[in-house]
């Protein structure tokens, strides 16, 4: 079931430069597991952003005291995939209506967030959320924050490619794998072969 009237990707003309967009959709293992599968996404890194501590550790972020969010930093080719399609995937694989949690993961580090690196991304994020709200796609209001990217740092090495390296780990099987499956079913034309 599609959440949206699936938009056609309209590549940006005369722009072959890669762009960066950072998304917080709960545990970064799950979000990363999906976006490494997406055509046009050149790199995915798990990390922390939009908090006040410089270069926090995972333990510090988990304490909830740093203000950071668990995020994935996407580097993508806008001539292949647009910001709108990335956001449609994002909204399909997490619950943007729960404040500071995703499923059993609770705390400000699990908040839903879009952290843009240019004004065009901000505009697309806000218009996508407005469309979701006007169409009543979710049963509750969207609480996804849309803010400029600030204070990003890459997470520790053991968090990178976690799902790929640990597919039979309990959390990966119970939470990440269903998100990957949902992406591949709903957005098959955007799945890498």
Residues annotated as part of the active site: 27
Q: In angstroms, what CA-CA distances link 158 with 49, 142, 155, 190?
A: 18, 32, 8, 27
Give the DSSP H or E segment for 19: strand 19-25
- Closest to 54 in 3D by CA, of 64, 44, 68: 68
- Closest to 157 in 3D by CA, of 45, 38, 54: 45
Report which DSSP code applies to 174: I
Q: What whole-number distance in Å separates Cα of residue 42 and Cα of residue 186?
A: 21
């Amino acid at each position: 079931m599609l959440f949206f009237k699936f938009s056609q990707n309209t590549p940006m003309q005369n722009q072959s430069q890669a762009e960066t967009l950072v998304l917080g959709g709960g545990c970064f293992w799950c979000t990363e597991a999906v976006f490494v599968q997406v055509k046009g996404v050149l790199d995915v890194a798990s990390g922390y952003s939009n908090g006040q501590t410089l270069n926090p550790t995972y333990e510090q972020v988990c304490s909830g005291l740093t203000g950071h969010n668990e995020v994935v930093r996407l580097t993508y080719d806008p001539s292949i995939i647009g910001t709108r399609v990335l956001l449609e995937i994002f909204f399909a694989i997490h619950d943007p209506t729960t404040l500071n949690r995703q499923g059993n993961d609770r705390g400000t580090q699990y908040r839903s967030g879009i952290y843009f690196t240019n004004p065009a991304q901000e505009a697309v994020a806000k218009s996508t959320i407005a469309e979701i709200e006007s169409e009543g796609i979710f049963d509750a209001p969207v609480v996804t924050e849309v803010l400029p990217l600030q204070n990003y740092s890459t997470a520790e090495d053991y968090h990178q490619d976690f799902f790929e390296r640990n597919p039979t780990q309990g959390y990966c099987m119970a939470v990440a794998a269903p998100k990957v499956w949902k992406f591949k079913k709903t957005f098959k034309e955007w799945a890498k072969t």
